[in-house]
């Protein structure tokens, strides 16, 4: 069996550890399908928990479940013992343990060399544990205390049972690569309540076509990635040959390197999307079309075409790693905004810093997420100028719109090199090879935006007058 695994891994160009993970990851699809036929509420929770434990063991080994047990135990204990502060306690302890694992395992180096460990799954699990504790904390608040719509929807009045909690955390291997979802959604899905309450007049939607679409998408993404990756290796950024190329060729290589790397993530998220859809958890309601069609937004982690042709950097979090971006918005960004005030660059930078630490403590991650905060701020400046242009100057408005698109493509693919190569030396070598253009342009736009401020829009009453 070991020789067969080695030969199969060699044939597709991955390590045995990565192949084992991929097999278990794909197995989450049939495992999630079988959840549908498990009878009863308690058996479903048990199945969710045990299937997650088994898949983790087969993929990463016994130690993975011990690692997962730490933040899960800390989160549940804080909810039982310190409800009034359980959200903050779990956030600090959960991230603290994750950072410790990042430092100890330095998983980024292993991933670059073709290895894999349980740190990636621990990242997803940490977010789920923290959101559960924060929502239980929010259960103490009253709706009239200025709760956001997300807080009203997700808050937990009652402490989940231990088996509900474990089932939520490890459900059918969904912690491998996400998507992140809420405890309240998990409970309603398992109990057949809310949008999952079905009867003869309201039959459950069929998940099969959406699952097949996600699998076809996964196959295409992996095929394109395997075709492109040998042609655009990341090692080229420190190759003397690369630095001898003309400026535009180096800039084009950065674009293609980023474009190539994204298809790996598209593949992973397409598989996880198929898994969540076929279980039924991915269902998020019906469209308003006639006849209505089921929506599976809860399972969606990326909108590939929308991201590749994104019009503004501000839209990137809505198209890429969607569920984690939603988590960061609800549990970091919005909670840093003081009542009666609007969010600003501080909230954006703090949120991106949390995202960087969540990914790992490599310089490339830190630089990328700081860069992304600056990139978004620069894009907002362009957007404000664009919105201030009167309708009579429609051509100029379209020109600024195209400029925002080109700016986003340039700065995104420049910035994401740091995310891919991770080391400070390789990141700065890549950025320096194009004269830090992707850093200078956003900062220039931010400074210009503070000087050239668009005139405030006239009120509706003034317009009518």
Catalytic residues: 359
What is the rounded distance in angstroms from the CA atom of residue 329 to the CA atom of residue 333? 5
Q: How far is CA 256 from CA 49, 232, 416, in A?
A: 41, 7, 11
- Reading the block at residue 56, the tokens are 């983790």
**Which has the closest alpha carbon to 354: 117, 99, 133, 170?**
99
To 10 degrees, what angle do helices 62-81 and 86-105 make?
160
- Does the CA dihedral 124-125-128-130 come out positive or negative? negative
Q: What's CA 450's distance to the chain center, in Å? A: 31
Cis ω for the linkage preceding 291 (within 30 of 0): yes
- Would you say 316 and 416 are in contact if contact means Cβ atoms under 8 Å apart? no
Give exposure, 191-212, as e/b (b: 16+ Cβ within 10 Å).
eeeebeeeeeeeeebebeebbe
Quote the tokens at residue 325: 């971006």
What do you get for the CA distance between the two ends of the chain, in Å? Answer: 81
Query: 156-175: string of b/e by CB count within 10 Å (b at 16+)?
Result: beeebeeebbbbbbbbbbbb
């Amino acid at each position: 069996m070991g020789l067969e695994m080695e030969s199969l891994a060699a044939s597709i160009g991955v390590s045995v550890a990565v192949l084992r993970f991929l097999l278990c990851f794909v197995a989450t699809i049939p495992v999630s399908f079988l959840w549908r036929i498990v009878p009863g509420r308690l058996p479903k929770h048990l199945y969710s928990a045990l299937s997650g434990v088994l898949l983790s063991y087969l993929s990463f080994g016994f130690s993975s479940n011990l690692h997962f047990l730490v933040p899960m135990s800390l989160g549940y204990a804080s909810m039982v013992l310190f409800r009034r502060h359980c959200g903050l306690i779990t956030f600090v302890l959960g991230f603290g343990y994750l950072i410790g694992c990042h430092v100890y395992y330095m998983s980024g180096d292993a991933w670059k060399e073709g290895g894999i460990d349980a740190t990636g799954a621990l990242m997803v699990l940490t977010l789920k544990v923290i959101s559960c504790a924060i929502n239980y904390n929010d259960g103490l608040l009253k709706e009239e205390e200025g709760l956001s719509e997300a807080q009203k929807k997700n808050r937990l009045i009652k402490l989940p049972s231990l088996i509900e909690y474990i089932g939520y955390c490890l459900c059918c291997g969904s912690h491998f690569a996400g998507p992140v979802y809420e405890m309240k959604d998990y409970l309603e899905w398992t109990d057949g309540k809310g949008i999952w309450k079905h009867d003869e007049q309201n039959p459950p939607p069929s998940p099969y076509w959406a699952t097949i679409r996600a699998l076809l998408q996964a196959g295409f993404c992996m095929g394109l990635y395997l075709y492109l990756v040998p042609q655009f290796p990341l090692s080229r950024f420190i190759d003397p040959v690369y630095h001898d190329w003309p400026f535009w060729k180096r800039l084009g290589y950065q674009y293609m390197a980023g474009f190539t790397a994204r298809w790996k993530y598209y593949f992973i998220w397409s598989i996880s999307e198929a898994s969540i859809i076929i279980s039924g958890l991915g269902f998020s309601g019906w469209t308003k079309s006639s006849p209505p069609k089921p929506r599976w937004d809860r399972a969606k982690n990326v909108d590939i075409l929308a991201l590749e042709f994104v019009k503004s950097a501000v839209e990137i979090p809505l198209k890429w790693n969607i569920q984690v971006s939603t988590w960061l918005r609800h549990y970091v960004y919005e909670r840093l905004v003081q009542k009666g005030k609007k969010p600003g660059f501080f909230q954006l930078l703090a949120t991106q810093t949390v995202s960087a630490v969540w990914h790992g403590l490599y310089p490339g991650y830190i630089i990328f997420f700081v860069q992304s905060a600056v990139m978004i701020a620069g894009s907002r400046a362009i957007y404000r100028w664009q919105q201030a242009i009167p309708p009579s100057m429609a051509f100029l408005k379209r020109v600024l719109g195209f400029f925002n698109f080109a700016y986003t493509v340039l700065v995104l693919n420049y910035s994401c090199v740091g995310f891919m190569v991770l080391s400070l030396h390789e990141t700065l070598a890549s950025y320096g090879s194009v004269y830090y253009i992707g850093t200078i342009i956003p900062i220039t736009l931010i400074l210009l935006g503070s000087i050239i401020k668009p005139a405030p829009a006239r009120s509706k009453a003034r317009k009518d007058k």
